[in-house]
Structure 1
Amino acid sequence: MKLSIQRRLASIVLKCSPKRIRFNPARLEDVKEAITKTDMRLLSGQGGVRKVSVKGVSRGRARKIAEQKRKGLRRGPGSKKGTPNARLPRKERWVVKVRSQRAFIKELKEKGVIDTRAYRVLYRKVKGNFFRSKRHIKLFMNENDLAKKPESAKGASSSAKKGSPKKVLSKAPAKGVKK
């Protein structure tokens, strides 16, 4: 028994593909007589015609993996595709580092810990990639006495150090001039 016309009509009524249409074997005689969309609507309401639900792709595995990633798993060397530079480009790493170091020395200048001259020295060294981190800046400042001393200690020690100019802050001699 060929029901291709009925199948096509049912697919239009139920808004799906003809492949998804199933007829009730007990109501085949009624289905055979149905030749209009109205007949198909009546049959679908009475259970003579139905559409098969679409098989979906389960997201269960995806949810499990997402949960593991939230916990910080699946980040080992076997899961990495691409070079470290592809995952976090050198330039981005550089920009983050330089911005944080510049913000740090700006904060020191605003607080009055360093003067403008020391700020310029540090700024240029940051630009030249001299410092590894903010901690390295602090270490450099301590070694080269770039931090201003508190007012009480300044008066006593400044007279002893007056004769020795700071090596870091001294300007380079002009080209062609010998010492």
Structure 2
Amino acid sequence: MPDFSTQKRLAASVLAVGESRIWINPDPEVAGEIADSITREDIRSQIEAGNIKAKPKKGNSRARYRVRAAKRAYGHQKGQGRRKGAKGSRSPRKVVWMTKIRALRSNLKELREEGEIDRHTYRMLYRKAKGGEYRSTAHLNAYIKAKGLTRSD
């Protein structure tokens, strides 16, 4: 079988794909005809004749990824040995803070609207939350209970 490197290069250029994706008909009867094709015009005529084609793109299967992602969603495969990057890079400090402060503020708002706390207490607790005094809504509620800040009507 003759060397079709020039034909492959030209065909790749004409079809706008990589050389590895070029298929040339292995039939010995057509080989001489393809070997004589040395211009782009010749290559185009061979493509039309079906002697040169572009192989389809190969895709990577996502099946294994989906299985792994499902396990991770469940909490598996997330151990120490799997982690790269600092704690703050896996869940940025700002995102952690935003999640926490939104929860605290909505909790405070709820308590104020239900009449559990008055507006002065709300303001004081709001400022303390902003200052980072409470770890969580549970911590905030425990503080309110311990200090007896709820309205006892």
> Which amino acid in 2 is paired with 1:80?
R
**Does the 8 Å CA contact 2:134/2:140 hold for their aligned counterparts?**
yes
> Which amino acid in 1 is paired with 2:111?
L
How far apart in 2 are the matches of 1:40 and 1:89? 55
How far apart in 1 are the matches of 2:111 and 2:120? 12
How far apart in 1 are the matches of 2:143 and 2:47? 87
Q: Deviations over 1:52-82 (max 9, x none)?
A: 62673x513x530332122214322222111
**Does the 8 Å CA contact 2:111/2:117 hold for their aligned counterparts?**
yes
Aligned to 1:131: 134
Instruction: Name structure 1 gaps, 5 residues minimum.
Output: 151-179
Once the two structures are TM-superposed, the CA of residue 13 in structure 1 deviates from its matched residue by 10
**Does the 8 Å CA contact 1:104/1:134 hold for their aligned counterparts?**
yes
Over aligned residue pairs, what C-alpha RMSD do you find? 3.7
* TM-score (norm: length of structure 2): 0.68
Matched, 1:106 2:119: no
Aligned to 1:118: 121
How far apart in 2 are the matches of 1:139 and 1:12? 71
**Does the 8 Å CA contact 2:107/2:137 hold for their aligned counterparts?**
yes
Structure 1 segment 1-179 matched on structure 2, within 5 A: 7=7, 11=11, 15=15, 20=22, 22-23=24-25, 24-28=27-31, 30-31=33-34, 37=41, 41=45, 45=49, 49-51=51-53, 53=55, 56=58, 59-60=60-61, 62-72=62-72, 73-150=76-153
How far apart in 2 are the matches of 1:131 and 1:43? 71
Sequence identity, in percent?
27
**Does the 8 Å CA contact 1:98/1:127 hold for their aligned counterparts?**
yes
Identify the structure with bigger relative contact order (alpha carbons < 8 Å, sequence gap 6+).
2
Instruction: Name structure 2 gaps, 5 residues minimum.
Output: none
